[in-house]
């Protein structure tokens, strides 16, 4: 069975600070990897995804993530956060043999202070 682990449950940063959120997964086969964001009062939105190819993927709003297969990791990064990045961030994986159902981590709550 797949599992997803997000290392930080709560992160507080000042504006312009750099962000890195850790995500590790366990699964023996080929997976697709995702980062979703949930802004306060809004629904889940896709930040970025990795299916194959270049392990460094760029998403919306200046976010990027790097897939390191040997470490089973898919960490999310942003060089300079803004107050508007305050949100809940979820790492998720899926695979063909599980019908592409998403397996989410517990989420990381990010608070960016002015």
Exposure string over 19-58, b if 16+ CB within 10 A, otherwise e: bebebbbebeeebebbbbbeeeeeeeeebbebeeeeeebe
Nearer residue to another protein within complex by CB, 73 or 94: 94
Number of residues that bind another protein (CB under 8 A): 25
CB-based contact 3:106 (threshold 8 Å): no
Scanning 17-25, 59-67, 76-84, 102-110 for contacts with another protein by CB under 8 A, the matching segment is 102-110
Q: Does 23 bind another protein (CB under 8 A)?
A: no
Q: Does 21 bind another protein (CB under 8 A)?
A: no
Smallest distance from another protein to CB 84, Å: 19
């Amino acid at each position: 069975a797949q599992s997803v682990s997000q290392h930080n449950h709560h992160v507080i940063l000042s504006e312009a600070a750099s962000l890195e959120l850790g995500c590790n997964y366990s699964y023996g086969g080929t997976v697709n990897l995702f980062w979703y964001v949930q802004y306060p009062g809004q629904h889940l939105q896709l930040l970025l995804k990795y299916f194959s190819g270049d392990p460094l993927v760029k998403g919306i709003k200046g976010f990027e993530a790097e897939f390191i297969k040997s470490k089973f990791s898919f960490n999310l990064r942003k060089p300079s956060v803004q107050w508007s990045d305050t949100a809940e961030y979820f790492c998720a994986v899926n695979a063909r043999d599980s019908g592409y159902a998403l397996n989410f981590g517990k989420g990381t709550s990010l608070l960016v202070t002015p």
